[in-house]
Structure 1
Amino acid sequence: MTRTAEGDLRDCLEDAFWSRHSNPKSGWSRTLTGPLLLLALYRRSWRLFVFAVAFTALNPVLFGRPDPEAESWMKRAVEAERWWLAEGNATMNLGWPNVLNVANVPTFCYALLAAYRRQPVRATVALAASMGLKFGWIELIARQYDESQA
């Protein structure tokens, strides 16, 4: 396979991934994986944990391409994330709004730890904070994406 063919294949696969992931069903169902992971750790259910991890990995390709004419916040969010990454903004640049996405990591890790330690209030509060940070980051990059398209 030539280098060009490999690049074409990679571009094709990447486009298929992002276009399917932009289906709002993909994005919204993916928000359930955090609570599922916490529940699995809290209950020590390794089957549920494996299911949640597998679902997280497979989720972006489980759903078909969305209607190109349909608009939704989640579709716009995924398109913005793709644009954000393509623009090179995913580096460890701690500028705004990346600070929200970076802060999300230890917050979610703490939620996992609290669930494992069977501290449901702490796990729930940390999960809510983590989701708030993620949704805040998504909304901010979606606004920047909209400005770039205007």
Structure 2
Amino acid sequence: MDLFAALERLMRMDDQVWRRHASPWSVWTRVAAVPLLVLAIWSRMWIGWWAAPAVAAIVVFLFANPRLFPPPRQPDNWASKATFGERAYLARRSVPIPAHHRRAAVVLTTVSFIGAAVLVYGLVRLEITATLVGLCLMAGAKLWFVDRMVWLFEDMCRTEPCYRDWLVPEPTSQEPCRTR
């Protein structure tokens, strides 16, 4: 099973949602929401069950986020390319990607999951060191993964001309390329 494709289905990402998610506002507010989610979960220590609405609001925001912002006017920025790279990575079965990008994605995702496990442990046990180490490991690996997706997208633009079309501010489609 492809975890990345399962998450895409869970988030209900279609062509229009991907275009909107390529907004730097979408990318950076999602990055900022993760530490806020950790803080909201941790706040149960101070405010008890009143932390639940904050946690719920952030979870709803994370789901809605790719739909909240308009598509970028100039999609040739780092955040947009990162989103395009993720889309190209998800299409790797129909349009093969270089092996070094596949390996890096798997390694970085594994490190991120390990960090998430440490983070969850820290949040459950209210252990600050485990929480911060887990958050740093998870977020650091995820940001490295996202940066790697920029590299993947730039590599794919050199070999698959249809990906270059995504850099046009108003593309007619952002469907992944298809093998010929």
Please, what TM-score do these two structures have when normalized by structure 2? Answer: 0.67
How many Å separate the matches in 2 of 1:84 and 1:62?
Answer: 23
Computed over aligned residues only, the root mean square deviation of the Cα atoms, in angstroms, reads 1.8
1:83 to 88, 94, 110: 88
Q: Which moved more, 1:42-51 or 1:119-128?
A: 119-128
2:150 to 129, 132, 142: 142
- Is it true that 1:54 corresponds to 2:55 in the alignment? no
Q: Percent identity between the aligned chains? A: 26
CA offsets 1:43-99 (integer angstroms, 9 cap, x no match) = 1211111011101110000111110x343211110011011101237xxxx833321
How many Å separate the matches in 1 of 2:110 and 2:76?
Answer: 28
CA offsets 1:111-138 (integer angstroms, 9 cap, x no match) = 1331232222321221111111011112
Amino acid in the other structure paired with 2:62 = T
- 1:108 CA drift (Å): 1.5
Unaligned runs of 5+ in 1: 1-12
Unaligned runs of 5+ in 2: 1-12, 45-50, 159-180
Partner of 2:24: 24
How many Å separate the matches in 1 of 2:27 and 2:156?
Answer: 22
Structure 1 residues 107 and 122, CA gap change in structure 2 (3 angstroms): same
Structure 1 residues 109 and 55, CA gap change in structure 2 (3 angstroms): farther
Post-superposition, which runs of at least 4 consecutive aligned residues in structure 1 deviate over 4 A?
Answer: none
Partner of 1:117: 125
Partner of 2:173: none
Please, what TM-score do these two structures have when normalized by structure 1? Answer: 0.80
How many Å separate the matches in 2 of 1:46 and 1:136?
Answer: 30
How many residues are matched? 133
Partner of 2:69: 63
